[in-house]
Amino acid sequence: MAYSNRIHDPAFAKYLDDSRRYAWIFSLLLAAAAVIGFYSYGAFGSEMDNPEALYIGLGIGGMFIVIAGLTNRSRKGGTTWDGKVVDKQVEKKTRRRRAEDMDYHARNYLLYKVVIRSDYGKSHEITAEDDDTVYNYYRVGDRVRYHGSLRSYEKCDKSKDTIIFCNACASLNEMSAERCHRCHCPLLK
């Protein structure tokens, strides 16, 4: 019953670096597609001419790059803290959506919520719609550690668990596994 020292495994740093790199690559590809697409539309379309179409493409491409930068910035250096599960709740909710026929349709769902209070007194919630896996994984009174750079929680006492979540990619794994079946990072057990 302790937090795992495997959090310092270099695989986690590699996972974070790869995630940041893929976010940049993906956003640059989207930005290039937007610029090329709008430029082509301006050159060959009849509704808009260049340079107006090119400027729109550059603006949209720039937004993709800014979003990637903000996403990568938010992943850096999160604070690690300890806390305790203080409450679990299940709420019946209804979501209204406008359908193609312009009528509103209601969809009922269950919102599963796990409330964690940090040792500094701040409350945090883990929520899921229509999926009680995380809700059942935690028990009121469980000690947890939040790993800020990974934005994930680790339970202190995993002795009674048959499953474990990967702290890098959040995939569900069997407790007997040593590494995540999806990202191959070590499981914190």
Tens of pLDDT, residue by residue over 62-95, are: 999 999 998 888 766 688 999 999 999 999 999 9
**pLDDT band at residue 103, thresholds of 50, 70 and 90?**
confident
pLDDT at 1: 75
The per-residue pLDDT of the chain, averaged, comes to 93
Report d(CA 163, CA 174) in Å as an integer.
5
Tell if the pTM clears 0.85, that is, is over it: no
User: What's the pLDDT score for residue 100?
Assistant: 78
Of all residues in the chain, the percent with pLDDT exceeding 70 is 98
What is the model's pLDDT at position 77?
64
Which residue shows structure tokens 């569900």?
172
Secondary structure class of 81 (helix, strand, coil):
strand
Dihedral angle sign, alpha carbons of residues 33, 39, 41, 44 = negative
Asked whether the predicted pLDDT for residue 102 surpasses 90, the reply is: no
Residue % of the chain over a pLDDT of 90: 81
Summarize pLDDT for 128-167 with one digit per residue, the tens: 999 999 999 999 999 999 999 899 999 999 999 999 999 9
| pLDDT (tens digit per residue) in 167-180 | 999 999 999 999 99
Q: Give the dihedral sign, CA 83/74/167/173.
A: positive
DSSP classification of residue 156? S
The most distant pair of C-alpha atoms in the chain lies apart, rounded to whole Å, by 68
